[in-house]
Amino acid sequence: MGLTEKNEEEEEMNRRKEDDPEEAAAKESLSIEQIFASKEVPPWQKQVTIRALVVSFVLSILFTFIVMKLNLTTGIIPSLNVSAGLLGFFFIKTWTKLVQKSGMLKQPFTRQENTVIQTCVVASSGIAFSGGFGSYLFGMSEVVAKQSSEATSAKDIKNPALGWIIGFIFVVSFLGLFSVVPLRKIMIIDFKLTYPSGTATAHLINSFHTPQGAKLAKKQVRALGKFFSFSFLWGFFQWFFTAGDDCGFVSFPTFGLKAYENKFYFDFSATYVGVGMICPYLINISLLVGAILSWGIMWPLIDNKKGSWYSADLSPSSLHGLQGYKVFIAIAMILGDGLYNFLKVLSRTLLGLYKQLSKKDSGVVIPVAGNSSPQNTPSQSYDDQIRTQLFLKDQIPLWLAIAGYVTIAIISAATLPHIFHQLKWYYIVVIYIIAPPLAFCNAYGCGLTDWSLASTYGKLAIFTIGAWAGASQGGVLAGLAACGVMMNIVSTASDLMQDFKTGYMTLASPRSMFVSQIIGTAMGCVISPCVFWLFYKAFNGLGTPDSEYPAPYALVYRNMSILGVQGFSALPKHCLTLCYVFFIAAVVINGIRDAVGKKRASYIPLPMAMAIPFYLGSYFAIDMCVGSFILYVWGKLNKAKADAFGPAVASGLICGDGIWTLPSSILALAGVNPPICMKFLSRGTNVKVDGFLAS
């Protein structure tokens, strides 16, 4: 390996020596599309290839396992676009090399095909989040209902079953794709929205397909492979020591047993170390601050009020006791943060729309699918001219978008009441009438800020539909189901616009983007429920607070629905007052962050991130801070290498540990249990255990 790298470096140095300096400077001054000018752009049918779909399917399974694991542990899901783009490039490049050696290669690998893979994989694995397997959908189950101790009647419970889950996901996941298609031109070309994630992904894919970028990608894949292997083997090694509850490295009392009781410990999770390397420093620090505030200060103080503020006889999981403070204060912070950002993004959206439509030279006409849009204006760069020309070439007919939306809406309104009897057809019709404007707002706001508020719109549906249905008519379940319908529409709408932006910058046809989104969504509608079902059957206690997979947001979403239907009667003493305080604090902190400017705001914690450990504890926040620290030190030692290989190393850690979940779940289903329980006891407890064993 070392010899190969040395030879590559020598060749690179020789090539640089031979290059004429003026020629090299000219190459550097070329724009992206000038570099690719000699490469023909294939028609959209040849961008969506069989090999691309096969690779997309394999990667979709891998990333669905990763997203599902994150969903069911903490609910924090970083962007996996870099991993998807890099692995897609690696698999197809390997495929084409093998076929080329056999002399059977008919079509070279293009950046457009790479974009199709990226789109398909992200659309498919995204269903693992928007499908609600760790939130609203699992929140309907009896396991979660028992923890809330409210609304536990049969009409408010629906246990998971593979059949109805696949049917539900299929019915609600495609509407968002049709809701904003007619406005793709106004978003991408006329308003020139940035869509930061889509733009970053496009730059990544474009770089892979330049000679220098291909060499770097090869080294990045090598780094990803090394840490994938390490992470997978580390997960396998840890498995041997987890024969019982609280066994193994995941229960290592790093800072002492008292700290461990309050959820302060490092659990040796390669996944969350990797997530910490991807997430910004501010998010990781915010998580740690939230953990210290809650588990280090607030919960011990409230626990001392046992018998005064709440009954001392309650079980630890009762929402009328300490657990109620943990859950509802976290909900208050999430809602405060969500409301502030919703109003901020909405105001920016409306202001941006007003400015765009009030420009005298904008032509006033909104360029939906049937209308023309100003093309090669004098202010456009060469790249923009080429991209605009190709983006407008392959039209997606307006009638197709409208017909698709109306048809699926009718099927959905007719089908969903059979899956959820509490969700009446007229609730669904109302959601589908107001969903397109909300989907547009979410897609536009995402283009400005890179922030999708899909979960906020879902919570809006929980409160409105739940209150409309009422407690006697199963409003809790109706609210959760309505949340799923709304979340899927607005989430897929913003995802599609991100993909259109990526396609615009890589010269991928809008048609190939739309088709790959549909295919990816269809894959996700089958893969995600099946992966969830594997978790559900393989891991006992899934969804309970002390299990390996506590699914924290399932309880949060269910309790939001209960609040929407029953009001505040479920809250323990002084809990409502504390909820008001933290709701207002979340709004104020966000306001201060926006007022002090971007530079100073980077030192102020994010309320949404602070709220997550209120319920879960700090163990994953410590893992993520370790990841941040590794990246920080690496950056100080060699910033260029850290920037180039940091995402690849993080992706390897996440992917290896994530894919270990598949064999571990198969072992659990087959009844193969770990042979050893490694447990940590205090000196006094150990003496008692030894005495008991000796007697």
Lowest mean pLDDT, pick from 441-445, 516-520, 559-563 = 441-445
Say if residue 287's pLDDT is above 80.
yes
pLDDT in the model for residue 655: 80
Q: Output the CA torsion sign for 552, 557, 559, 560.
A: positive
Of 297, 246, 314, 238, nearest in space to 271 by CA: 238
pLDDT in the model for residue 374: 44
Say if residue 57's pLDDT is above 90.
yes
Question: Average pLDDT for residues 57-80, to the nearest whole number?
Answer: 86
Say if residue 14's pLDDT is above 70.
no
Higher per-residue confidence, 61 vs 654 = 61
pLDDT in tens, 193-234: 778 778 878 888 888 888 777 788 788 888 888 998 999 999
What percent of the chain stands above pLDDT 90? 29
Question: Average pLDDT for residues 528-542, to the nearest whole number?
Answer: 91
pLDDT in the model for residue 365: 42
Widest distance between CA atoms in the chain: 92
Residue 431, token pair as written in the block: 């959601």
pLDDT tier at 608, thresholds 50, 70, 90: confident
Higher per-residue confidence, 627 vs 2 = 627
Of these ranges, 29-38, 65-74, 361-370, 525-534, the one predicted with the greatest mean pLDDT is: 525-534
pLDDT in the model for residue 121: 93
Say if residue 262's pLDDT is above 80.
yes
Q: Which residue has the tokens 């210290």?
A: 292
Of these ranges, 106-110, 444-448, 475-479, the one predicted with the greatest mean pLDDT is: 475-479
pLDDT in the model for residue 162: 94
Question: Average pLDDT for residues 171-193, to the nearest whole number?
Answer: 84
Distance of CA 168 to the CA centre of its chain: 20
pLDDT in the model for residue 219: 85
Lowest mean pLDDT, pick from 229-233, 529-533, 542-546, 675-679 = 542-546
Q: Are 130 and 491 in contact (CB under 8 A)?
A: yes
Question: Average pLDDT for residues 496-510, to the nearest whole number?
Answer: 90
Question: Average pLDDT for residues 440-450, to the nearest whole number?
Answer: 76
pLDDT in the model for residue 479: 92
- Residue 576 carries which side chain, given as an amino acid letter? L
Q: What letters, b where the CB count within 10 A reaches 16 and e where it falls short, cover 668-678?
A: beeeeebeeeb
Q: Are 383 and 32 in contact (CB under 8 A)?
A: yes
Question: Average pLDDT for residues 368-385, to the nearest whole number?
Answer: 58
Question: Average pLDDT for residues 71-85, to the nearest whole number?
Answer: 78
Question: Average pLDDT for residues 144-151, to the nearest whole number?
Answer: 76
Is residue 47 within a helix (H) or strand (E), and if so which, with residue range? helix 44-47
Residue 429 to residue 431: CA distance in whole angstroms: 5
Question: Average pLDDT for residues 338-353, to the nearest whole number?
Answer: 77
Pick left, alpha or beta for residue 671 (phi over 0 → left; psi -120 to 50 → alpha; otherwise beta). Answer: left
Lowest mean pLDDT, pick from 197-201, 414-418, 488-492, 686-690 = 197-201
| Single pTM value for the model | 0.78
pLDDT in the model for residue 567: 72
Question: Average pLDDT for residues 70-86, to the nearest whole number?
Answer: 78
pLDDT in the model for residue 30: 65
Round the average pLDDT of the chain to a whole number and report it. 83
Question: Average pLDDT for residues 304-310, to the nearest whole number?
Answer: 86
* List of residues 6+ apart from 446 with CB closer than 8 A: 195, 452, 494, 497, 498
pLDDT tier at 570, thresholds 50, 70, 90: low
Residue 337 to residue 32: CA distance in whole angstroms: 39
Higher per-residue confidence, 442 vs 424 = 424
pLDDT in the model for residue 373: 43
pLDDT in the model for residue 540: 82
Residue 164 to residue 420: CA distance in whole angstroms: 10
Higher per-residue confidence, 18 vs 616 = 616
Residue 332 to residue 606: CA distance in whole angstroms: 14
Please give the C-alpha separations between residue 82 and each of 183, 449, 521, 628, in angstroms, as whole numbers: 27, 19, 19, 18
pLDDT tier at 632, thresholds 50, 70, 90: very high
Please give the C-alpha separations between residue 180 and each of 176, 439, 483, 496, in angstroms, as whole numbers: 7, 7, 20, 8
pLDDT in the model for residue 89: 84
Say if residue 17's pLDDT is above 80.
no
Higher per-residue confidence, 253 vs 339 = 253
Question: Average pLDDT for residues 13-20, to the nearest whole number?
Answer: 44
pLDDT in the model for residue 611: 86
Residue 353 to residue 275: CA distance in whole angstroms: 35
Say if residue 550's pLDDT is above 60.
yes
pLDDT tier at 317, thresholds 50, 70, 90: low
What percent of the chain stands above pLDDT 70? 91
pLDDT in the model for residue 29: 52
pLDDT in the model for residue 359: 65
